[in-house]
């Protein structure tokens, strides 16, 4: 395995291989859990990469699956060892969405829909701080600052000159009209959004209110795709107390089709840039001039 693959992706690949071995054996997760005297949820979390996998776990599972090829066992044990390494985000301590960060760090492309706010990868530091402070009013300033720092570090995937993340963002008009942190701060955010939308690997589209009902009314979600075809795409849905990750091809396909409908109903790229620059009207005067020259 390539040494530059982050631990979250390593766990996913190892989990997929362990699932394949279980299915070849014709066993259910419940049967494996019963054999090992562990919970079914542990087996499921090991297979979907949501839980760290120890070499002992691999050894026990290979025993249950009667894997006789010692080279395969050794390879899986090495993958387990590598998967326990720490990604850059671990330096910030306990990050609640660390699994998502690991996936985003290794993704080749990201399609995101946001109905309420500017997406994290396109936020200014000031907007991010005001947004997190407002969303988590009882959170200590040190924790807020940590989250802001993590968000700024994540944005390096967009600003990188080498192999940047392919980002496609569709957002609802409400994300532009919600004045986070005051009008001056919001004006800076909108100008930044216009500037980022001009990057060749970033596409920003807006769905205005007068477009009416559309497939994104159920809420925010993101679709992550990876450079290695062995890594299946993932749909990420953020929750208040827990997040949801969908990897079944049928689920990913449904969300992908829904995203195509969102893109089709949204303003095109030039129209969206102009809309951002003038909405709320007069808030983003500098950006309006830039957008006007792009038409």
Host H or E run for residue 44: helix 40-47
Question: Do 238 and 100 sit in the same domain of this protein?
Answer: yes
Question: Do 53 and 195 sit in the same domain of this protein?
Answer: no
The domain boundary, picked from 85, 100, 116, lies at 85
Whether residue 227 is contained in a domain is answered as: yes
Question: Do 67 and 181 sit in the same domain of this protein?
Answer: no
Question: Do 11 and 151 sit in the same domain of this protein?
Answer: no
Question: Do 186 and 233 sit in the same domain of this protein?
Answer: yes
Cis peptide bond N-terminal to 256, omega within 30:
no
Q: Residue 282 has what pLDDT?
A: 44
Whether residue 1 is contained in a domain is answered as: no
The domain boundary, picked from 85, 110, 135, lies at 85
| Cα separation, 268 vs 73, whole angstroms | 51
The domain boundary, picked from 37, 64, 85, lies at 85
Question: Do 30 and 134 sit in the same domain of this protein?
Answer: no
Whether residue 2 is contained in a domain is answered as: no
Question: Do 271 and 203 sit in the same domain of this protein?
Answer: yes
Please say whether the beta carbons of 266 and 200 come within 8 A.
no
Whether residue 16 is contained in a domain is answered as: yes
Please say whether the beta carbons of 1 and 10 come within 8 A.
yes
Whether residue 142 is contained in a domain is answered as: yes
Domain count, the chain: 2
State the CATH number of the domain containing residue 48.
1.10.260.40
Whole domain around residue 122: which residue ranges?
90-294
Question: Do 150 and 260 sit in the same domain of this protein?
Answer: yes
Please say whether the beta carbons of 15 and 46 come within 8 A.
yes
**Token pair for residue 227?**
């450079």
| Cα separation, 263 vs 92, whole angstroms | 35
Question: Do 278 and 157 sit in the same domain of this protein?
Answer: yes
Question: Do 46 and 159 sit in the same domain of this protein?
Answer: no
State the CATH number of the domain containing residue 231.
3.30.870
Q: Residue 96 has what pLDDT?
A: 79
Q: Residue 241 has what pLDDT?
A: 74
Give, for all 295 residues of the chain, the pLDDT tens digit: 334 456 677 788 888 889 889 999 999 999 999 999 999 989 988 888 777 788 899 999 999 999 988 988 888 888 888 777 777 877 887 777 888 888 898 899 999 999 999 999 999 999 999 999 999 998 899 999 999 999 999 999 999 888 899 999 999 999 999 999 999 999 999 999 999 999 999 999 999 999 999 988 889 999 999 987 777 899 999 887 778 888 888 999 999 999 999 999 999 999 999 999 987 544 554 444 443 332 3
Whether residue 80 is contained in a domain is answered as: yes
Question: Do 121 and 26 sit in the same domain of this protein?
Answer: no
Question: Do 271 and 195 sit in the same domain of this protein?
Answer: yes
């Amino acid at each position: 395995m390539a040494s530059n693959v982050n631990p979250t992706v390593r766990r996913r690949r190892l989990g997929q291989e362990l699932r394949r071995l279980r299915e070849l054996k014709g066993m259910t997760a419940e049967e494996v859990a019963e054999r090992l005297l562990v919970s079914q949820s542990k087996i499921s979390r090991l297979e979907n990469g949501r839980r760290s996998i120890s070499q002992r776990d691999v050894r026990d599972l290979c025993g249950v699956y009667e894997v006789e090829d010692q080279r395969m066992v050794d390879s899986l044990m090495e993958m387990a060892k590598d998967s326990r390494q720490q990604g850059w985000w671990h330096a910030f301590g306990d990050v609640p969405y660390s699994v998502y960060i690991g996936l985003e760090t290794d993704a080749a492309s990201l399609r995101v829909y946001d109905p309420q706010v500017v997406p994290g990868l396109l936020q200014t530091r000031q907007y991010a701080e005001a947004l997190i402070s407002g969303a988590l009013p009882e959170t200590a300033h040190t924790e807020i600052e940590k989250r802001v720092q993590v968000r700024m570090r994540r944005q390096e995937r967009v600003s990188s000159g080498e192999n940047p993340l392919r980002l496609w963002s569709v957002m609802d008009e409400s994300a532009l009209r919600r004045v986070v942190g005051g009008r001056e701060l919001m004006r800076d955010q909108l100008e930044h959004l216009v500037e980022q939308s001009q990057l060749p690997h970033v596409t920003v589209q807006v769905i205005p209110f007068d477009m009416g009902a559309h497939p994104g009314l159920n809420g925010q979600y993101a679709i992550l795709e990876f450079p290695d075809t062995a890594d299946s795409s993932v749909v990420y849905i953020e929750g208040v107390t827990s997040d949801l990750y969908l990897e079944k091809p049928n689920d990913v396909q449904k969300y992908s089709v829904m995203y195509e409908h969102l893109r089709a109903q949204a303003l095109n790229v030039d129209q969206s840039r102009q809309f951002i620059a003038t909405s709320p009207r007069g808030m983003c005067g500098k950006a309006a001039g830039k957008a006007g020259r792009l038409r």
